[in-house]
Amino acid sequence: MMRVIAGSARGVKLEALPGEDVTRPTINRVKEAMFSSLQFQLPGAKVLDLFAGSGQLGIEALSRGAAQCIMVDQNREAVEIITRNCKTARVQNQAKVMMAQAQVYLNRLTDQFDIILLDPPYHQGILNQILPRIAQVTAPGGSVICESELDCPLPEECGGLVLKKQHRYGKVLVTRYEKGE
Domain count, the chain: 1
Query: What pLDDT, on a 0 to 100 scale, did the predictor assign at position 21?
Result: 54
Q: What is the CATH number of the domain that holds 98?
A: 3.40.50.150
Can you tell me the mean pLDDT for 154-171? 94
| Per-residue pLDDT tens digits for 105-160 | 999 999 999 999 999 999 999 999 999 999 999 999 999 999 999 999 999 999 99
Query: What pLDDT, on a 0 to 100 scale, did the predictor assign at position 24?
Result: 66
Domain that holds residue 90: 2-179
* Res. 23: pLDDT tops 80: no
Residue 26 binned pLDDT confidence (cut-offs 50, 70, 90) = confident
Mean per-residue pLDDT over the chain, rounded: 93
Q: Which residue has the higher pLDDT, 155 or 26?
A: 155
HEC readout, the chain: CEECCCCCCCCCEECCCCCCCCCCCCCHHHHHHHHHCCCCCCCCCEEEEECCCCCHHHHHHHHCCCCEEEEEECCHHHHHHHHHHHHHCCCCCCEEEEECCHHHHHHHCCCCEEEEEECCCCCCCHHHHHHHHHHHHEEEEEEEEEEEECCCCCCCEECCEEEEEEEEECCEEEEEEEECC
Query: What pLDDT, on a 0 to 100 scale, did the predictor assign at position 119?
Result: 93
| Per-residue pLDDT tens digits for 92-102 | 999 999 999 99
Query: What pLDDT, on a 0 to 100 scale, did the predictor assign at position 160?
Result: 95
Percent of the chain with pLDDT over 90: 83
* Res. 22: pLDDT tops 70: no
| Per-residue pLDDT tens digits for 52-65 | 999 999 999 999 99
